[in-house]
Amino acid sequence: MSSSENDPKATVPPRNVVEERAPRAWQRMLSGRRLDLLNPSPADIDIADIAHGLARVARWNGQTFGAHALSVAQHVLLVEEIAGALNPAWPDAWRLAALLHDAPEYVIGDLISPFKTAIGLDYKAFELKLLEAIHERFGLPAKVPADVGAEIKRADRIAAFYEATRLAGFSTDEALMFFGHPETLNAVLTQRLETLAPWPAPEAQQLFLERFAALTAGR
């Protein structure tokens, strides 16, 4: 009998090869692309993947009224429309930046602000790196001018105020404390914000893609 037959270690099966690989740091998209999360390439970003993901990511951690979650896709469409109403002379490029301002959430989800604060700056750095790759993919500057970014944030706060008070259970006083007083908009848009209702995911996805196509038609 050989020494190996007497050695109990010799009967232990080899470790699974998969277990020895480095942890996976990329996500497979439905388009077939693999997005490297540590070093995202613009070539691996597809608007169909973004639309699909954003239409299925819930705002407010899903804590909203209605038969459907309020999706990030619906939210960014609201923000883009509000930003356009506040800045009627904007070129389509800045409206596109507004539409894509939360695009990284198709990968990382919509973390509520208190959780982002708890995670710290590393999360924000990752989010910004992915947003820069998205901007490059669609012909926008990696970082939009400060005044444009401020206007997108302004529109974002208005959308958040109406989402919070109409769908997320905030009192008006709470929403005023966190998001400020919403600015006056045209009557049609204000009425739509007053009567917010979440859209089904397929509808939000399609409307997002249609708006993206309209804003990039001449690019």
CA dist., res. 7 & res. 19, Å (int) = 24
pLDDT at 4: 46
CB-based contacts of 76: which residues, under 8 Å, 6+ apart?
54, 98, 99, 100, 101, 102, 103, 208
Q: What is the DSSP secondary structure assignment for residue 42, as one 8-state letter? A: G
Give the integer Cα–Cα distance in Å for 119 and 163. Answer: 24
* pLDDT for 179: 95
Can you list the domains of the chain with their CATH numbers? Answer: 3-216 (1.10.3210.10)
pLDDT values of the chain reduced to their tens digit, one per residue, 219 residues: 444 445 555 555 555 544 556 667 788 888 989 998 888 999 999 999 999 999 999 999 999 999 999 999 999 999 999 999 999 999 999 999 999 999 999 998 876 666 666 666 566 788 899 999 999 999 999 999 999 999 999 999 999 999 999 999 999 999 999 999 999 999 999 999 999 999 999 999 999 999 999 999 977
Answer for the pair 134, 108: CB distance below 8 angstroms, yes or no: no
C-alpha span between 60 and 122 (Å, rounded): 21
**Quick one: tokens of 216?**
């990039």
